[in-house]
A and B are shown apart, each in its own frame.
Chain A
Amino acid sequence: MGADEQDTQTVVRIRDLRVAYTGESGSTPVLNGVNLDLRAGMTTALVGASGSGKSTLALSLMRLLPRDVEVSGTIERIWLTHQANLLAFPEWRLRGIRGEEITMVFQSPGAALDPVMRIGSQMREAVGACSGYSRRQMREIIAALLADVELDASVARAYAHELSGGMQQRVMIAMAIANNPDLLIADEPTSALDVTVQSRIIALLKRLQREYGFSMLLITHDIAVAAQVADEIAVMSQGRIVECGARAEVLEHPQHALTRSLVSAARALSLEPMDKV
């Protein structure tokens, strides 16, 4: 495994990332020097309590932070032949990155989807309204994407409120994979869903990753979810990554006190494997 891992290409390399929100009462540091590598085709789970800076890290990767923040450090986007610091990109150059090379699935699909637009129209925007596809081609692309997330093509004509939470999240995932991204950021993709739906969405993300080959940054407060999907687990606390390593290593030999408490909470909320079904 060690040799493979070294050969795997890094798609994003974060070094000493610091983000502070500035306001009337001075600046509040949220990220205090984050170092993290995201590798092609691998899933890194970012685990931590609410307020630890997980979502700020995701928004930094997408360059979607509000204006009144101080940012330093580097987020290097690494392509096959070259690399560049995303933090230094002018806004116009981000257009080719956001929603194309790096895409995101949010926690509450009900809030992320437009309530007055049919699903098909929203997906058309995700695929690229000006991509030059004919109406018919576009319809076929959307049907194929819906099939990929195990939804019927008729969903394209529905409005968001007509779908269940699980179906809404599948639509979000379909839009996130539409442009064959290099990195998919999933910010608490299953926290708003019930356990059975949760496990199906996780299985879906895993299958799509195998088929499409994107690397995934999975943000979650639940280390049990991380245990199901991640190749690597990074544990975050107060804007720092306090522990990072291969999944089995982190789960079986947690070093940091926070990791240990997350693991023991997850064990308390799990059940013995069923011997008899």
Chain B
Amino acid sequence: MTTAPAKMTNNADAPLLAARDLRVTYSRRGGGTCVAVDGVTFEIARGETLGLVGESGCGKTSLGRALLGLIPVAGGNVTFDGQPIEQLRSTVLRKFRRRAQLIFQDAAASLNPRMRVGAIVADPLRVHGMARGKAARERVEATLAQVGLDVALINRYPHELSGGERQRVDIARALVLDPEFLVCDEPVSAVDACTRVALLDLLRSLQRAHQRSYLFITHDLAAASRMCDRVAVMQAGRIVELGATDRVLSNPQHPCTRQLRSAVPTF
């Protein structure tokens, strides 16, 4: 188990992340299992944004969490930079966690209400032992600036911020470790349209500037069209369609994709 090399390989041509026949199940109260992710296979290249689109309950969030090793998988595997993540232990696992981060849908719920913005964004640095004191503070300030937040907000509590600002704090917390891979789980669903456009453009520019890879989870094909190189459409735990964003939007093949497509307001 611990035979894995301490340093991960860095093969630029290989996909950064690959899921093969991935399954996630939950046990039901009173027996039986619920299959949330039902045999899913795909790859995400370095610097690529893959959209994961589907109705609520189709398994998007479970899939995103399984990719990060946050919930156990029932079958199949995930490899990150050539390494199966379920075999990662101790220091290599911690390193993986640093390289792969999650942005939550509801920042109001995912930010600790009793911590100030500065402490929230500095927390990952402390956990991973990457910076302390003045160095940590400088890094936090730089990250806040990167996500377009006024550094003066550093001493505020989450409830003192607007929804858009809170979401930016959540993004800053994920970015402070300079990860290579981000799962963005509906990062803009809880904010109004003007803020949504601004946040999407921010996420896109941060991705391009650092050649990061994203899994962008959303129920909104319009948001996906603004963000993603390729789109995977998920229904009942399976990926029913996967292709370049332009192709999927202009020529949807699966009925589920067409339904999602027609739900987007034409304005």
Which of A's residues lie within 8 Å of B, judged by CB? 49-51, 164-165, 193-199, 221-225, 227-228, 261-262, 265-274, 276-277
Choice from A194, A266, A271 contacting B55 with Cβ under 8 Å: A194
CA distance A261 to B194 in the complex (A): 7
Beta-carbon contact of B263 and A271 below 8 Å = no
Q: State in angstroms the CA–CA spacing of A195 and B186 once bound together.
A: 12
How distant is the Cα of A224 from the Cα of B252 in the complex, in angstroms?
23
Give the residues in chain B near A198, CB-CB below 8 Å. Answer: 263
Whether A223 and B193, one on each chain, are in contact in the complex, defined by CB atoms closer than 8 angstroms, is: yes
Q: Identify which of A228, A262, A269, A276 contacts B222 (C-beta below 8 A).
A: A269
| Segment of B76-84, B88-96, B254-262 in the binding face | B254-262
Distance from A85 Cβ to chain B, minimum over Cβ atoms (Å): 33
Cβ of A196 to closest chain B Cβ, rounded Å: 4
Return A168 CB to nearest CB of chain B, in Å.
Answer: 12
Q: A197-B56, A269-B222 are in contact. Are A227 and B267 (CB under 8 A)?
A: yes
Contact of B263 among A49, A51, A196, A261 (CB under 8 A): A196
Q: Chain A's nearest CB lies how many Å from the CB of B67?
A: 21
Q: Which single residue of chain A is at the shortest CB-CB distance from B249?
A: A271
Residues of B with C-beta under 8 A to A228: 265
Contact A196 B223 (CB under 8 A): no
Other A-B pairs, 11, CB within 8 Å; known A164-B56, A265-B197, A271-B264: A50-B192, A194-B220, A195-B264, A199-B262, A221-B193, A227-B265, A266-B267, A270-B265, A271-B261, A274-B261, A276-B251
A194, A223, A227: which contacts B56 (Cβ < 8 A)?
A: A194
Do B266 and A221 touch (CB < 8 A)?
no
Contact indicator A195/B193 (Cβ below 8 Å): no
Please, how many angstroms separate the alpha-carbon atoms of A268 and B196 in the complex? 10
Q: Which of B163, B193, B194, B250 has the most CB of A within 10 A?
A: B193
| Distance (whole angstroms) from the CB of A248 to the closest CB of chain B | 13
Q: Which residue of B lies closest to A261 (CB)?
A: B194
Q: Any chain A CB within 8 A of the CB of B171?
A: no
Known: A274-B262, A277-B262. A269 touches B193 (CB 8 A): yes
Quick check: B193 and A265 within 8 Å, CB to CB? yes
Could you tell me if A224 and B263 are in contact, using CB atoms closer than 8 angstroms? no
Q: Which residues of A contact B249 (CB under 8 A)?
A: 271
A114 to chain B, nearest CB (A): 22
B residues within 8 A CB of A268? 197, 226
Q: Is B113 an interface residue (CB 8 A)?
A: no
B57 sits at the interface (CB 8 A): yes
Cα separation A272 to B258 with both chains bound (whole Å): 13
Partner of B220, one of A51, A195, A261: A195
Given contacts A266-B267, A267-B267, is CB(A196)–CB(B55) below 8 Å?
yes
B residues 228-267 in Cβ contact with A at 8 Å: 249-252, 258-267
Residues of B within 8 A of A273 (CB): 266
Contacts of A277 in B (CB 8 A): 252, 258, 261-262
A and B contact pairs by CB, cutoff 8 A, 25 listed:
A50-B163, A50-B192, A164-B56, A164-B57, A193-B56, A194-B219, A195-B219, A199-B263, A221-B192, A223-B193, A224-B265, A225-B265, A266-B193, A268-B197, A268-B226, A269-B193, A269-B220, A269-B226, A270-B264, A270-B265, A270-B267, A271-B266, A274-B252, A274-B261, A276-B251
